[in-house]
């Protein structure tokens, strides 16, 4: 069985393949959250190829829907999607659209794209599970720049009010957004203190340490009476040196030379 670290590396390779094939996409934020998604899908969540279409399993919502490449890469590693589908990314008729579509792609629990909405949907799922007496958990991954959306804080207030201890929010805290560094656009720090003041349990972790992410998620399962947020410190474009911490790589394709360099750094084959 492949280690989760190796799975995350393979996910990054396929993220790069998708974006190169389409000559568009969101490499920076997809690469920054690859370790988080790998930890969730392969170490934490009760989800598998066999139960992918069951309602009775943990649910995952990618609130930062523009990083769809990362979830597709995880579903490929699970065997839910075919690896050859990376070359259909963002093409007409493909199951791998630029933003995830729950109507056309197996394993997608919510169609996302408009930032700020995923947490509210997660609250609805978590509250429904409480009312039905289910013990399934809901996992939401949001971006740090996304926390500039007012809807996030309305949702944060509601989640604490309803004591949704079956809800886990993870924030990909890479410090950048579409228009530049968060602090230059609209500073959203200190996130931890803000969520704490809203009545949440708060963890801070290294978003590239899969063991630490996994441990924090397991600890969140023991928290009763309040939701948990994990603020994961990450590097935008992680794994590709010319993309790391560079605002220009939020959303753009890559040429053949850039693709070859990225794949070499990620230990993959340039088989495109």
Does the residue 114 lie in any domain?
yes
Q: How many domains does the chain have?
A: 1
Contact indicator for 145, 98 with CB cutoff of 8 Å: no
pLDDT surpasses 50 at 108: yes
Does the residue 139 lie in any domain?
yes
Calculate what percentage of the chain has a pLDDT beyond 90. 94
| Cα gap 245→238, rounded to integer Å | 8
pLDDT at 269: 77
pLDDT at 1: 43
Where residue 32 sits, what CATH number does that domain have? 3.40.50.970
Q: Which residues pair with 228 in a beta bridge?
A: 168, 201
Does the residue 213 lie in any domain?
yes
pLDDT surpasses 90 at 49: yes
Calculate what percentage of the chain has a pLDDT beyond 70. 98
Classify burial at 78, counting beta carbons within 10 Å of its beta carbon; exposed 0-12, middle 13-18, buried 19 or more. Answer: middle
Does the residue 188 lie in any domain?
yes
Does the residue 272 lie in any domain?
no
Question: Could you report the per-residue pLDDT of 165-197, keeping only the tens digit for each?
Answer: 999 999 999 999 988 899 999 999 999 999 999
Does the residue 271 lie in any domain?
no
Segment 101-111 mean pLDDT: 96
| Cα gap 11→5, rounded to integer Å | 10
Residues 6+ apart with CB under 8 A from 7: 38, 42, 77
pTM: 0.96
Question: Could you report the per-residue pLDDT of 213-254, keeping only the tens digit for each?
Answer: 999 999 999 999 999 999 999 999 999 999 999 999 999 999
Residue 217's domain comprises 4-266
pLDDT at 204: 98
Does the residue 158 lie in any domain?
yes
Does the residue 67 lie in any domain?
yes
pLDDT at 2: 65
Q: What is the three-class DSSP state of 12?
A: helix
């Amino acid at each position: 069985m492949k280690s989760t670290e190796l799975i995350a590396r393979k996910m990054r390779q396929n993220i790069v393949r998708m974006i190169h094939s389409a000559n568009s996409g969101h490499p920076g934020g997809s690469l920054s959250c690859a370790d988080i998604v790998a930890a969730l899908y392969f170490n934490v969540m009760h989800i598998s190829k066999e139960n992918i279409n069951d309602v009775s399993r943990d649910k995952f919502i990618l609130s930062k829907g523009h990083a769809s490449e990362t979830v597709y890469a995880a579903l490929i590693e699970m065997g839910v999607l075919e690896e050859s589908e990376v070359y259909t990314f963002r093409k007409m008729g493909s199951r791998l659209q630029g933003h995830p579509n729950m109507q056309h792609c197996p394993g997608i629990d919510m169609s996302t794209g408009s930032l700020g909405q995923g947490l509210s949907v997660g609250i609805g799922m978590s509250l429904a599970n409480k009312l039905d007496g289910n013990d399934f958990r809901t996992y939401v991954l949001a971006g740090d720049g996304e926390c500039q959306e007012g809807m996030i804080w309305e949702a944060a207030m509601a989640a604490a009010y309803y004591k949704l201890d079956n809800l886990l929010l993870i924030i990909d805290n890479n410090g950048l957004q579409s228009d530049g560094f968060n602090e230059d656009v609209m500073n959203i720090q200190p996130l931890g203190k803000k969520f704490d003041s809203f009545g949440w349990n708060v963890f801070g972790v290294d978003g590239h340490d899969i063991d630490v992410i996994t441990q924090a998620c397991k600890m969140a399962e023991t928290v009763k009476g309040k939701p948990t947020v994990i603020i994961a410190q990450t590097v935008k474009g992680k794994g590709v040196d010319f993309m790391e911490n560079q605002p220009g790589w939020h959303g753009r394709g890559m040429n053949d030379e850039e693709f070859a360099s990225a794949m070499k750094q990620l230990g993959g084959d340039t088989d495109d």
